[in-house]
Structure 1
Amino acid sequence: MQAGHRGRHGKVKSLVFRHFPCILYILFRTSSRKGCLLNEIIGQKLSEQLRERIEDRIITGVYRPGMRLDETELAAFFGVSRTPIREALIQLASTGVIEMRPRRGAVVAQVAPDRLQEMFDVMAELEAMCASLTARTISDGERRELIAAHQACQTALKENDPDTYYRVNEAFHQTLYRLSHNGFLAEQALALQRRLRPFRRLQLRMPGRMASSFGEHSEVLEAILAGNPAGAADCLRSHVCMQGDRFANLLALIESESAVA
């Protein structure tokens, strides 16, 4: 018995040593991939955080239209390397918040009030179409998904957390884009949503805007769940559209933030 056991043990030992380089290679590749993936995830989160912080400073007028954003200076200010700063600037450039110019690098974009008004008008129509299509085709599973997105907004509102509310509010709108089941429409809506991101975030700083935003979401949701495409479109169009006093208040807030900066 002992001889047989030693024989089997010897065969196993021989196999291990024979294939040891392969085993080491597999372990190395696996751990390396996990490490790279972890670094990638951490890097993505850092660049997104930096994008938001740079975006905040643009909104509040610290970085004014036409101002050059130097990667080295930003890296020193935020205490990070240039790589996540560069990634954050690329994200901002993709949404039009900044422009990448030859020999100047990243420059804060200038958006005229008339142009901003036009963008909000188009955003309102794109989202109205999304709401209408969603109301026509929504399934039971999608109903639950949309209700869950709405409840996340309610939680943030109850906690009086505007930063979280902004994120879950954005997710609620993106859910509507996806549930429209029109890929091209969803792409266009998402692209313009990203372009308007700094201004829509700024809106939530208006007194009472967070609560009114949630109330408007409730009306949109009610119309969709009732299978009312026209009602859903009207509610969402009204929710997004910046006309009259609402637009004047937004411009005033932009000016006041810039003056404080």
Structure 2
Amino acid sequence: MPAAASLASVAYETLRQALDNFQYVPGDRFSESVVGQQLGMSRTPVREALVRLQREGYISVLPKMGWVVNQLDFAVFEQLYDVRAVLECAAVDLLVAAPDLAHRLQDLTALWCIPAADRLSEKSVVSRHDEDFHMALLQASGNLEMARIHRDITERIRIVRRLEFTRNYRIDVTYEEHSRILQALLQRDGLQAKVLLQKHIRVSRDEVKNITLHMLQNAKKKVALALTT
């Protein structure tokens, strides 16, 4: 019999995938007991999974009413992306002034500045490395307070950003854009690096918004069709 912690992990992964695929849409309500019945689990691991998803911003708990899938406020997400861009551009300024710049960026360069044939292809892995790339820039800048704030923002936008790599072409685009940003940094061309970085973040923001709205619209159409049949 799997341990409770293992069951909670299984419940979390199953529910997160359902949320990512919009099997639950914003506004949907559900109870722990119903989810437990669907997963064939007791309420304890289900509750642990739900609390974890609540911390990540997917869902909220309503007193005496169960759980609800959170609405997606794109105005807030766009503001968070803007703040993220400001922090990363500030990191660029610190990096180009660092005497040991090449050393600070060597791990990122080894991962992203590689031939196309050597690139990773698993979307979930590239997505995680993409997130790490931006946090690593802040860490490499040496300003740990900026890095902390940036990490908090990254966690808040992950709920929409997770969908970017549901499109295969985003893998090659990400490698190419990260490589150009790193090359500009290594040449200590801070202006060019910031231009590339701002465009990269803007395109990423618009991409995840479009994907999210498209998937949400399709999910609502399926629900409407199911109700009429």
Displacement, 1:217? 0.8
- CA apart distance, 1:58: 1.9
2:145 alignment partner, one of 184, 188, 198: 184
Q: Tell me the distance in 1 between the aligned counterparts of 2:205 and 2:120.
A: 30
Aligned counterparts of 2:6 and 2:68: Cα–Cα separation in 1: 22
Contact 1:56 1:198 in 2 (8 A): no
1:20-39 matches, within 5 Å, as none
Residue correspondence of structure 1 range 102-141 to structure 2 within 5 A: 102-137=63-98, 139-141=101-103
Displacement after TM superposition at 1:229 (Å)? 2.8
1:191–1:105 CA distance, 2 compared to 1 (3 A): farther
- 1:147 pairs, out of 82, 89, 109, with 109
Matched residue, 2:182: 221
SS of match in other structure, 1:160: coil
Q: Decide which of 172, 175, 188 is 2:136's aligned counterpart.
A: 175
Task: Determine which of 223, 236, 239 is the counterpart of 2:200.
Answer: 239
CA contact (8 A) 1:153 1:169 kept: no
Aligned pair 1:62/2:30, yes or no? no
The answer to which of 66-75 and 242-251 deviates more is 242-251
The 1:236/1:72 distance shift into structure 2, 3 A limit, reads: farther
Q: Which consecutive residues of structure 1, in runs of 5 or more, have no partner in the other structure?
A: 1-38
Equivalenced residues, count = 219
- Report the 3-state secondary structure (helix = DSSP H, G, I; strand = E; otherwise coil) of the residue aligned with 2:166: coil
- For structure 2, the residue ranges without an aligned partner over 5 or more in a row are 224-229
Which protein has the bigger helix share?
A: 1
What is the CA–CA distance in structure 1 between the aligned matches of 2:200 and 2:180, rounded to whole Å?
9
| 1:7-62 Cα distance to aligned partner (Å, 9 max, x none) | xxxxxxxxxxxxxxxxxxxxxxxxxxxxxxxx8xx948963x65454333223221
* CA spacing shift, 1:132–1:172, aligned 2, 3 Å: same
Moved more, 230-239 or 78-87: 78-87
Give how far 1:83 is off: 4.5
Q: What RMSD in Å do the two structures reach over aligned CA positions? A: 3.5
Against the structure 1 CA distance between its residues 245 and 173, is the aligned structure 2 distance closer, same or farther, given a 3 Å change threshold? closer
**What TM-score do you get using the length of structure 1 for normalisation?**
0.67
> In structure 2, do the counterparts of structure 1 residues 68 and 147 end up closer, same or farther at CA, with 3 Å as the change threshold?
same
Which residue number corresponds to residue 163 of structure 1?
124
- Structure of greater Rg: 1
Is the contact between residue 180 and residue 196 of structure 2 (CA under 8 Å) also seen in structure 1?
Answer: yes
Deviation sequence 1:126-184 (CA, Å, 0-9, x none): 333334433433544422222244369978x8453212211222222222232122222
Tell me how far apart the structure 2 counterparts of residues 68 and 222 of structure 1 sit (CA, whole Å). Answer: 48
- The within-5 A match list for 1:13-52 is 43=5, 47=9, 50-52=11-13
- Match for residue 211 of structure 2? 250
Alpha carbons of structure 1 residues 76 and 235: separation in structure 2 relative to 1, 3 Å: farther
1:50/1:88 contact within 8 Å kept: yes
CA contact (8 A) 2:160 2:208 kept: no
Whole-angstrom distance in 2 between the partners of 1:114 and 1:108? 18
One-letter amino acid of the structure 1 residue matched with residue 132 of structure 2: A
With the length of structure 2 as denominator, give the TM-score of the two structures.
Answer: 0.75
User: 1 CA distance for matches of 2:122 and 2:18?
Assistant: 19
